[in-house]
Amino acid sequence: MKRILAIETSCDETSAAVIEEGNRQLSNVVASQIKSHQRFGGVVPEVASRHHVEQMTIVMEEALKEAETTYEELDAIAVTEGPGLVGALLIGVNAAKAVAYAHNLPLIPVNHIIGHIYANQLVQPLAFPLLSLVVSGGHTELVYMEEPGKYEIIGETRDDAAGEAYDKVGRILGVPYPGGKHIDEMAHKGNDTFHFPRAMIKEDNNDFSFSGLKSSFINTVHNAEQKGEVLDKNDLAASFQAAVIEVLVTKTMRCAKEKQVKQLVLAGGVAANSGLRAALKEAVEMTPTIELVVPPLSLCGDNAAMIGAAAFVEAVENKQIDLTLNAQPGLSL
Ligand code: KG4
Ligand code: ZN
């Protein structure tokens, strides 16, 4: 299973990539739709599906061209089967099925979350057991992997995902969707003056909660507005980010030490957060038995290269499927 054409359309990026041996990226083309969704303040599923239809063939051909690869040189097609928006997933799944059928290639379905974790395989070999902190717009999970292909969710958010909280708070601060990147930038110009609650930080479990933090943030802003006070937006951003990072880092490190993992692997769109990357790096420096693996910024958000990397492991496990493959919007690990 040498060369894989991978496809990702689970949300608002149409992406195709060519990956060799599960760890060599020959191309990774990502067409982002963010501009089309920004005026609505979030992803509109119908708009996303239409964009995927328009972009899919162009993106696939561009990925093959960049990789200097023909369909005849491919060994398999991989595609995100879920979780994600059903209409968006269906475009990728059908494109993958069409190519697999036309070129008589095996089809490998990939879980989007597993893709985020395996993005790191394109950086360096993964070492097991590992703990992955998956933080994205839809997920906040601690995934324990004793060996390749074995996944156990040992902690997760009880309400909002970390990225979702960032995006909601971004709306209150009036920054464009998705707010995470903007809040990250503002946080560096402000200070943690508001000391928002660090939910569940002391509790003896691996779960997270961000909806209380979000409410506390909204109440602080509304109370100030009612009193005619103007709050410093950079301080608000810095205070929010400090609360998110302290909880994520404290609970992740505690869990990583308990599980005696070799690697701590950061994954998902929020992995691009500079404060989180720095805080984890600092925490791990004090625990030399654990190696921190962080994806480059280009592999944090949704992309098909990570699907190709994960597909290689799934192919080794022989998880190929026929043309009955369907989108699984609620797929779990
Ligand atoms: O993985 P991803 O591209 O899509 C999902 O699978 O959900 O993650 C997108 C999320 C958004 O919520 C976005 O605000 C967040 O990642 N994000 C960030 C940063 N860059 C993107 N959050 C915090 N800091 C960032 N620098
Ligand atoms: Zn994602």
pLDDT at 1: 61
CATH number at residue 228: 3.30.420.40
**What pLDDT does residue 321 have?**
82
| 284 and 308 both lie in a single domain | no
Q: Does 329 reside within a domain?
A: no
Residues 289 and 304 in one domain: no
Spell out a b/e string for 129-163, using b for 16 or more CB atoms within 10 Å of the CB, else e.
Answer: ebbbbbbbbbbbbbbbbeebeebeeebebebbbbb
How many A from CA of 139 to the centre of ligand 1? Answer: 10
- Nearest atom in ligand 1 to 272's CA: 26
107 plus 166 within the same structural domain: no
User: Do 285 and 256 meet the contact criterion of CB atoms below 8 Å apart?
Assistant: no
Residue 271 lies inside a defined structural domain of this protein: yes
Ligand with minimal distance to 135 CA:
1
**Structural domain includes residue 199:** yes
Interhelix angle for 233-259 vs 162-173, to 10°?
170
Provide residues with CB under 6 Å of ligand 1: 11, 136-138, 163, 166-167, 178-181, 184, 268-270, 272-273, 301-302
DSSP 35-63: HHHHTTTS--HHHHHHHHHHHHHHHHHHH
pTM (2 d.p.):
0.96
Average pLDDT of adjacent 10-residue blocks, the chain of 333 residues:
93 97 97 90 92 97 98 97 98 98 96 97 96 96 95 97 96 95 98 97 95 97 96 98 98 97 98 98 95 97 97 81 92 92
List the domain range (segments joined by +) for residue 200. 126-294
